[in-house]
Structure 1
């Protein structure tokens, strides 16, 4: 059956509204691995790009993209963008490039490209044209490395953007290699030297994995592969492969708009997927594919804007490596900073992927920029869901795998996640609070290990209602760890822990926890990253359940810190029904009921069946099955909304409204 999908893309507030019908797709391979290389035409004319240096700023006039596919920015935003771009260019100018062994082009190609922008053109082009260190492994593609996904991302920008400065003979080699590479689907095709590899364990070398292209399927690696194969098939007129990969790209973008991204909001990988789609946006010739690329980038920009805050990246995250709990600690924040800014101080370590941002015509919608800068009415709570990691597998679209709550206050945002299973690479809770010197300060909590490390632990169950949060778990040897800035003022009154940040205040009611103590971080790298943070440890007391209830205050809700403390002490109330250890059973239900200083309530009953607790919010039961939307504010549609399998993303912020829809369907 042929797949027909409709891609509807609408821009409100004076922007284009259109409808594109994507046609039937054929996917028959055309040659065998032993076929001789076909005769090839010359590469198409290089895209027109210009690099200028005026007023002390380097600027790039990127490849032209049709006006209907652009999110136009006003001059002042563009000027801010180029100020930030030059921070990155200056940072990487005159830096050594490295080498092309394995997938080291992940680093070396962007460094050479940055150096080219800085003016060292001859040296940079010479490196980009060097024979690959593993050229014998790539003899079937004219010695060009079209294997490793991270290399592919750089190869695409090298060929299409920097191609006008490459030696014509070298560019012809790239073309001929790509022609052979895409004569049929390279993914799963037996490698001429290594076949299908020696096994799946160990490293990711060609010898180990085999094939004509890196077959890993994380969102970011898959995006690099599928975008590269599509663009090179389109460039070399391998139409069957182009149509096959157009279908793959289409399905991925449909998934974004209907069930979400498996590698959701990753502090480390979000930018890698984003950068791959910048290649597609800039260089695709088929306008339907340019439309797909824009839809993907608009979605990823909006998702990033929810978590980006003044140079930080917070709330729950998938594939969290534990290095993002500080301003500019997240790779995603360091990349999105180029678009969103709104930070204190320049980015000390711009992402190498910024080379794609700086040389691209893409800009996020104005409403998305305003969302990232929190230009919407606050306070507001947004409920969200995320799909299972491998969401393309059977059953992956039946229901969400994670339920997220984010509360945007006037001076902070707090986010937490619930799921029906433990997950070792998920950061389950983060709060970011305004700080005039740093941008934001972080308050982070987790259990296990010797510090605040990512991972949703088995038994940890979290419920959140706006500025209130309850965390409960069965007794275990895993202590609670709390990360707070060293500048925070700490006080204990009536067994309530108070932490005073600059304009945001925390009140923690411990449940069967010892008094906290400050500890040193044994990991040297983490200790250096968090040199301005303090880690507190509290151990579980007794054999029952333990945890805490949290209330967050600020001037808008409580006036002053003194009033906040007084109201919490006098008005808040916590009750806990605990099951004794000898009565533990699969039917045991331990309940925390928390009344805040303002009278709002949150209840959590620990669920022994799975990891989704029973939650009541202001007396109303929170039924997880009633909340499948990818983004849904609890009041109205602002600032962001996207229904489960509804396909229409809406962002409303800063006086701007943006909508983009991707609707999938099978017909005929």
Structure 2
């Protein structure tokens, strides 16, 4: 981790927050700090013109002093870490100090940003001076969120009430089940709040609450969450996408909590995250089922970088990897037992079976997961009883150790149009090194159709609490989402690939996604075998026919949905 801060700083800042603009004479793009409607001058021709829409992240408003008071989107999810690294290396850096003094940046206390501010503040607040601290304290005191940062085109979708750093009583992690944020959002808000409550001066407030009240409330939320993980397992279990952000929040609490019980709570939660994912770790990537995850991509993701930094057991070339400022500066380290499990330095093969709760941890054993780990691969599956997270759910995957990167296999009926996502047309059954997968429309009789009870306040009917599910929830889900007829498909020609992709949603087919790095070494009418380094993968098609698509990179680049 020693050279990591310079790498993080080199990624830069004060870029994403700029407004998008375009010279009216040349059509050339440019970036500005203008708010919509302000006059700007083209650097190409000198023409004065009005700034149009500033883009997703750009400036949105100014205060009476002419300072930018609001940005769109979630720019400090990305740029605050680089600015922090720069100031840790060069505390007097004028650009970083100025950028982090913009009122519109100070007021960014949504989940991803406060997760970064809670690391910045204990290290660097004193360096920034008393005036800066006073303005930061004011921003934290006034903070409430009426947007949905990080939700793209749903950013300004209606909410029943503003959300804040402290959270709502009587809810899991302080967030209601309709719009209170996903699990990682809530862990970031609450851990940051607990850090602030112990570092900000007497008399300060957090989202309108006095520090002692904020501290007591969020400690209760985080304690209950830890207890539920032991009782039901985690709701956002083994999330390759979002665990890194929750981990960063608990790293903040581990490093900066001033009370031993809070530091112990942080250590327990971090150990839980790493121990449970280490069990399923293959070549730096989580294998088997994930609540929110994808197959390995061309570049390592945040979770892979965390695993590499701690366990250094990956096939990828990580010589140029850039991890987070949290991992680069934390004192937390997974213990020897966790490290041995992660590196496979235990008796292999082994099996594991895990009951999984509904997302809000309000029904235990809602899903059943099985997992098998051999010397060179991991295969795991979750029996899905409801449609809970259809676009990011990794129902099953086979992860194989590669030579240059982890090799991931998965598949199913392609209703969700991505490499993950749960199609209710598909059912799976798994034991050890074998997985059976079948896809078909539901044949439920209308008399078996239980009604859903879905709040009309929801943007979409996912991540429902137990109270919103029908009594016969599995039958209800299969009726609601898996009764549309499926259509036969034929192999596309190379120039038909894009049309084929667009029509695949209701394909009467089960798709198997195969990494290009493996070699097909045997093909008969009823069996196909691929060779990966130290692993053989055999497939027996059950249906009446099968075909393979080996698309070129050029053909795939033309497809709008690049995730298949």
Contact kept, 8 Å, 1:275 with 1:357, in 2: the verdict is yes
Contact kept, 8 Å, 1:452 with 1:482, in 2: the verdict is no
Change beyond 3 A, Cα 1:291–1:101 = same
| SS of equivalent to 1:296 | helix
Q: 2:422 aligns with which of 448, 456, 467?
A: 456
1:231 and 2:262 aligned: no
Q: How far does residue 371 in structure 1 lie from its aligned partner after superposition?
A: 1.2
**Greater length-normalized contact order (CA 8 Å, ≥ 6 residues apart):** 1
Q: How far does residue 201 in structure 1 lie from its aligned partner after superposition?
A: 12
Match of 1:131 in 2: 102
CA RMSD of aligned residues (A): 3.3
Q: 1:445 aligns with which of 407, 411, 421?
A: 411
Q: 2:547 aligns with which of 496, 516, 529?
A: 516
Taking structure 1 as the reference length, what is the TM-score of the superposition? Answer: 0.57
Change beyond 3 A, Cα 1:110–1:406 = same
Between structures 1 and 2, the one with greater strand share: 1
- CA separation in 2, counterparts of 1:287 and 1:206? 40
Deviation track 1:597-637 (CA, whole Å, cap 9, x = no partner) reads xxxxxxxxxxxxxxxxxxxxxxxxxxxxxxxxxxxxxxxxx
Match of 2:455 in 1: none
- CA separation in 1, counterparts of 2:157 and 2:127? 30
Match of 2:383 in 1: 418
Q: Superposition pairs for residues 468-507 of structure 1, below 5 Å?
A: 468-474=434-440, 476-477=486-487, 478=507, 479-490=509-520, 491-493=522-524, 495-507=526-538
Change beyond 3 A, Cα 1:387–1:88 = farther
| SS of equivalent to 2:313 | coil
Change beyond 3 A, Cα 1:525–1:328 = farther
1:361 and 2:320 aligned: no
Q: 2:228 aligns with which of 255, 259, 265?
A: 255
Aligned length: 417
Deviation track 1:439-467 (CA, whole Å, cap 9, x = no partner) reads 43222222215976212211312111111
Contact kept, 8 Å, 1:95 with 1:111, in 2: the verdict is yes
Contact kept, 8 Å, 1:94 with 1:115, in 2: the verdict is no
Q: 2:263 aligns with which of 272, 278, 290?
A: 290
Q: 1:313 aligns with which of 286, 291, 296?
A: 286
Q: 2:351 aligns with which of 375, 381, 395?
A: 381
1:204 and 2:155 aligned: yes
More deviation, 98-107/521-530:
521-530
Match of 2:306 in 1: 335
| SS of equivalent to 2:400 | strand
Contact kept, 8 Å, 2:91 with 2:127, in 1: the verdict is no
- CA separation in 2, counterparts of 1:365 and 1:170? 38
Contact kept, 8 Å, 1:97 with 1:109, in 2: the verdict is no
Contact kept, 8 Å, 1:452 with 1:483, in 2: the verdict is no
- CA separation in 1, counterparts of 2:416 and 2:269? 39
Q: How far does residue 327 in structure 1 lie from its aligned partner after superposition?
A: 6.5
Change beyond 3 A, Cα 1:415–1:361 = same
Q: How far does residue 523 in structure 1 lie from its aligned partner after superposition?
A: 5.7
5+ long unaligned stretches in structure 1: 1-81, 135-143, 536-668
Deviation track 1:518-570 (CA, whole Å, cap 9, x = no partner) reads 2438663989988xxxx8xxxxxxxxxxxxxxxxxxxxxxxxxxxxxxxxxxx
Q: 2:242 aligns with which of 262, 269, 293?
A: 269
| SS of equivalent to 1:133 | helix
| SS of equivalent to 2:340 | helix
Contact kept, 8 Å, 2:416 with 2:423, in 1: the verdict is no
